[in-house]
């Protein structure tokens, strides 16, 4: 095989048996890789009703055929399992250098099953894998763990690990690779912790074999030259101010979630935007492997009480820990972000859960005696303290560790948790960006924008602007964005470059550039129709898993705050999100029943017949 390595590594943590198997070429073509391989193995090998923390649950870490090839932003991998936060699947995606090294170590995917009797880590060195004791690492944060493992193995290796949050089964614990890159959402780190697996260390060699290396190189050069020419004329905001630069757009459109989603604009927005981060704390940009964008931020804070150094914060962190908590202290937000990276926490759910707690206190449903300290809107010191307590499950942090839905439900007001399928939303208010609401509700992992991001056309005009306040027609375009996002995730690419530079406006967000890259890398000669069908197959396969786990239309929902209470102020004033109308159109476009079940005809078309 070309593009793909052609091998899967299976690790049974209960028996400590490790074996290789050949990747079926038909499965590779039909599911591409990454996210596609993840759902293929989940559907094949576990009961969707499985307890996420049972030994019967599996974790799939999978690269794509473009990971490590040198294709721009070809540096991603997916972590998929059954989520302890939502009960649905996870599609946690991360970049950095670990994914390329993992692929070069000899495998397209690693399938982890069982549960170890004591803490272990997996070391893969150029195609040879072994399990080693991690007893001495248990309790260490992700940075200390990474440093220790590089000393024990090879200083040029790459590490993905969990921190105390994963060990203590915080429901939104992350897996951190390359120190500060997060496979963050839905509790993948907690599942890894439940298996007593502390880390995976990979060391590879050589390069990924391509079917048409000369053609690939020429096409790659052409794409990068066009990108550089465009950036020379208009510098890319992601390079200049990182993802935190998005604050300007969401504030201007009135879709910057504020005060636990009660408002869409934040008075202190200028203090937390990307330009402020660059001026105050930026040390340097940092790029993932083969990335021309370099949106990563290496930052340093010297402000007393919030000192630290690391990467971030990203836009989603700035919204969740900033405007959503009414906090305009960027030093406090950045410090809480560092703590999340070190303890292994998803910053979105962390910030949103603190915001939910703030509203519970504000409305008198939760007392400061229950928390053990004062808690009010805008309290940056409380954010930092509660983040640390959550990662260690100390005091009130033990309740925060369950996420906002369970916290709000415990105190009798689940409507104050802004979630879908119990997962907290990223930072785009769907009352002012209608398709974003549909994307949150229908995401296979619960509230998420990275499984299909209509903000590109509603807020950023890619491939062209659509009326953000109009809900008619949004079901069709949301389906299209979700399908291409599945292809991007499966191929091993980053959405930041792919949507803007590899999709065709004339064909309605068609992955024409990705098609060329995949065909020259793999030699399988996809047609555009076959590639688009692969994206639809991945989405539908994920839906089958969810249906079998008990999810249907009732779970494709949004909080009543967003569907019944009009936005009180700002550019989106008076709007609610019209989720029911969009769902009807979306299900019809997908070929699902009005209750959100794929039809037999669709399953036959996609080769997913039961």
Shared domain for 169 and 30, answered yes or no, is yes
Q: Residue holding tokens 């820990």? A: 321
Q: Is residue 226 part of a domain?
A: no
pLDDT at 500: 82
| Neighbouring-strand partners of residue 122 | 131, 200
Strand order in the sheet with 282-286: 282-286, 296-301, 308-311
- Confidence band of 565 (pLDDT split at 50, 70, 90): very high
pLDDT at 509: 63
CATH for 391: 1.10.569.10
Q: Find the helix packing angle between 34-45 and 474-491, rounded to 10°.
A: 90
pLDDT at 386: 98
Shared domain for 26 and 151, answered yes or no, is yes
Shared domain for 196 and 247, answered yes or no, is no
For 186, 366, 404, 513, the CA distances from 359, given in Å and listed in that order, are: 23, 9, 11, 46
CATH for 181: 3.60.9.10
- pTM more than 0.85: yes
Shared domain for 298 and 332, answered yes or no, is yes
Name the residue among 245, 227, 246, 247 with its Cα closest to residue 282.
Answer: 245
CATH for 583: 1.10.599.10
Shared domain for 371 and 407, answered yes or no, is yes
Shared domain for 115 and 59, answered yes or no, is yes
Question: Hey, is 151 helix, strand or coil?
Answer: helix
Q: Is residue 1 part of a domain?
A: no
Q: Please state, in angstroms and rounded to a whole number, the distance separating the CA atoms of residues 383 and 333.
A: 8
Q: Please state, in angstroms and rounded to a whole number, the distance separating the CA atoms of residues 218 and 485.
A: 25
pLDDT in tens, 92-128: 999 999 999 999 999 999 999 999 999 999 999 999 9
pLDDT at 462: 85
Q: Is residue 445 part of a domain?
A: yes
Q: Is residue 249 part of a domain?
A: yes
pLDDT at 471: 96
pLDDT in tens, 118-151: 999 999 999 999 999 999 999 999 999 999 999 9
272 is in which domain, residue-wise?
Answer: 239-423
Q: Is residue 221 part of a domain?
A: no
Shared domain for 83 and 176, answered yes or no, is yes
pLDDT in tens, 301-310: 999 999 999 9
Shared domain for 527 and 445, answered yes or no, is yes
Shared domain for 336 and 477, answered yes or no, is no
pLDDT at 237: 86
Q: Is residue 112 part of a domain?
A: yes
| Number of domains present in the structure of the chain | 3
Residue 44 has pLDDT above 70, yes or no: yes
- Confidence band of 510 (pLDDT split at 50, 70, 90): confident
pLDDT in tens, 452-472: 889 999 999 888 899 999 999
pLDDT in tens, 339-362: 999 999 999 999 999 999 999 999
What is the mean pLDDT of the segment spanning 238-252? 96
Residue 507 has pLDDT above 60, yes or no: no
What is the mean pLDDT of the segment spanning 544-550? 98
| DSSP assignment of 408-453 | HHHTT-GGGS-EETTEE--S--TTSSHHHHHHHHH-BTBS-STTS-
pLDDT at 236: 81
Of 181, 203, 225, which residue sits at a domain end?
Answer: 203
Residue 508 has pLDDT above 70, yes or no: no
Of 423, 446, 473, which residue sits at a domain end?
Answer: 423
Residue 15 has pLDDT above 80, yes or no: yes
Shared domain for 56 and 193, answered yes or no, is yes
- Confidence band of 505 (pLDDT split at 50, 70, 90): low
pLDDT at 464: 84
Residue 532 has pLDDT above 70, yes or no: yes
Residue 609 has pLDDT above 80, yes or no: no
pLDDT in tens, 146-175: 999 999 999 999 999 999 999 999 999 999
Shared domain for 269 and 416, answered yes or no, is yes
- Confidence band of 503 (pLDDT split at 50, 70, 90): confident
Residue 575 phi, psi (nearest 5): -90, 145
Q: Is residue 534 part of a domain?
A: yes
Of 370, 400, 423, which residue sits at a domain end?
Answer: 423
Q: Is residue 59 part of a domain?
A: yes
């Amino acid at each position: 095989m070309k593009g793909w390595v052609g091998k899967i590594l299976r690790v049974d943590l209960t028996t400590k048996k490790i074996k290789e198997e050949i990747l079926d070429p038909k499965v590779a073509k039909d599911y591409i890789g990454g996210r596609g391989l993840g759902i293929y193995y989940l559907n094949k090998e576990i009961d969707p009703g499985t307890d996420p923390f049972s030994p019967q649950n599996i974790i799939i870490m999978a690269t794509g055929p473009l990971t490590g090839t040198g294709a721009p932003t070809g540096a991603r991998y997916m972590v998929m399992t059954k989520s302890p936060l939502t009960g649905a699947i996870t599609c946690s995606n991360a970049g950095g250098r670990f994914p390329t090294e993992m692929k070069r170590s000899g495998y397209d995917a690693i399938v982890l099953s069982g549960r170890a009797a004591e803490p272990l880590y997996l070391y893969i060195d150029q195609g040879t894998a072994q399990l080693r004791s991690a007893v001495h690492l248990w309790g260490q944060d992700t940075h200390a763990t990474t440093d220790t493992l590089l000393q024990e193995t090879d200083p040029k290796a790459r590490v993905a690990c969990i921190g105390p949050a994963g060990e203590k089964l915080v429901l939104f614990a992350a897996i951190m690779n390359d120190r500060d890159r997060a496979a963050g959402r839905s509790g993948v780190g907690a599942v890894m912790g439940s298996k007593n697996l502390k880390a995976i260390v990979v060391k590879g060699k050589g390069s990924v074999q391509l079917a048409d290396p000369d053609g690939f190189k020429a096409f790659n050069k052409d794409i990068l030259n066009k990108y550089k020419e465009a950036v020379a004329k208009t510098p890319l905001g992601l390079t200049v101010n990182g993802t935190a630069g998005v604050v300007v757009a969401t504030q201007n459109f009135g879709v910057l979630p504020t005060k636990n989603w009660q408002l869409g604009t934040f008075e202190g927005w200028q203090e937390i935007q990307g330009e402020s981060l660059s001026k105050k704390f930026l040390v340097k940009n940092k790029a993932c492997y083969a990335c021309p964008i370099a949106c990563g931020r290496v930052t340093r804070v010297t402000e007393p009480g919030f000192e630290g150094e690391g990467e971030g914060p990203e836009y989603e962190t700035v919204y969740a820990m900033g405007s959503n908590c009414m906090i305009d202290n960027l030093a406090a937000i950045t410090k809480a972000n560092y703590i999340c990276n070190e303890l292994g926490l998803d910053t979105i759910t962390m910030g949103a859960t603190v915001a939910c707690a703030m509203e519970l206190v504000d409305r008198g449903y939760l007392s400061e005696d229950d928390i053990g300290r004062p808690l009010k809107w805008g309290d940056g010191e409380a954010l930092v303290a509660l983040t640390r307590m959550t990662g260690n499950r100390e005091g009130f942090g033990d309740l925060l560790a369950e996420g906002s839905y369970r916290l709000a439900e415990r105190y009798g007001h689940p409507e104050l948790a802004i979630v879908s399928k119990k997962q907290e939303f990223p930072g785009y208010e769907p009352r002012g960006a209608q398709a974003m609401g549909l994307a949150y509700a229908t995401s296979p992992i619960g509230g998420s924008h990275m499984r299909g991001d209509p903000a590109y056309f509603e807020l950023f005009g890619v491939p062209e602007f659509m009326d953000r306040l109009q809900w008619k027609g949004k079901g069709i375009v949301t389906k299209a964005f979700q399908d291409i996002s599945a292809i991007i995730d499966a191929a091993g690419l980053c959405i930041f470059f792919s949507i803007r530079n590899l999709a065709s406006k004339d064909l309605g967000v068609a992955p024409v550039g990705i098609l060329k890259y995949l065909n020259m890398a793999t030699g399988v000669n996809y047609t555009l129709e076959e590639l688009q069908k692969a994206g639809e197959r991945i989405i539908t396969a994920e839906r089958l898993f969810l249906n079998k786990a008990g999810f249907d239309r009732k779970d494709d929902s949004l909080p009543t705050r967003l569907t019944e209470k009009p936005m009180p102020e700002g550019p989106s004033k008076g709007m609610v999100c019209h989720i029911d109308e969009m769902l009807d159109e979306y299900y019809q476009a997908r070929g699902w029943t009005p209750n959100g079940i794929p039809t037999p005809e669709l399953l036959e078309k996609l080769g997913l017949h039961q």
